[in-house]
Every structure is written in C-alpha cells, then in structure tokens.
Amino acid sequence: GLLSRAGKLEFDKFGNLKPNSEGYLVIRSWSKWEPVCAGVLPDDIATHVCDYLGY
C-alpha cells in the first residue's frame, strides 16, 4: 500500500517534507501531530491519504 511507499522522511532547507523517490509526499495532518503520507499520482489529480505512520 501507500504506507510502504512512504519510506524515509526527507526535509528541504525550509523544514518541509520532500517527496520520496517514488513521488510520494509525506505531510502533517491539521488535526494531529502524527505525519500522514499522501501520494499524488503524476497522471492524476487525485490525492491518496494513507494511515498514520508509526514512528
């Protein structure tokens, strides 16, 4: 699933999370501190939000 594709978290110089090698971006939800991963498909505007990462 998308959770397995989230992989290692990487940050840019502004402290924002960067997409991983597969283009999946890890974001923080507005209501919780736990990060959630969202994969935006290159050929689709749909965004898929997966389960909270366990870390």
Q: Is residue 38 part of a domain?
A: no
* Sequence letter at residue 13: K
Residue 24 has pLDDT above 50, yes or no: yes
The dihedral through the CA atoms of 19, 21, 24, 26 has a sign that is negative
pTM for the full predicted model? 0.26
How many angstroms separate the CA atoms of 22 and 40, rounded?
10
H or E element at residue 38: strand 35-40
Question: Which pLDDT score is estimated for 13?
Answer: 75
Q: Is residue 1 part of a domain?
A: yes
The pLDDT-based confidence of 14 (bands split at 50, 70, 90) is: confident
Q: Is residue 48 part of a domain?
A: no
CA 34 to mean position of chain CA atoms: 11
By residue range, what is the domain housing residue 20? 1-27
Number of domains forming the structure of the chain: 1
Mean pLDDT score, 23-48: 45
* Sequence letter at residue 39: G
Question: Which pLDDT score is estimated for 21?
Answer: 57
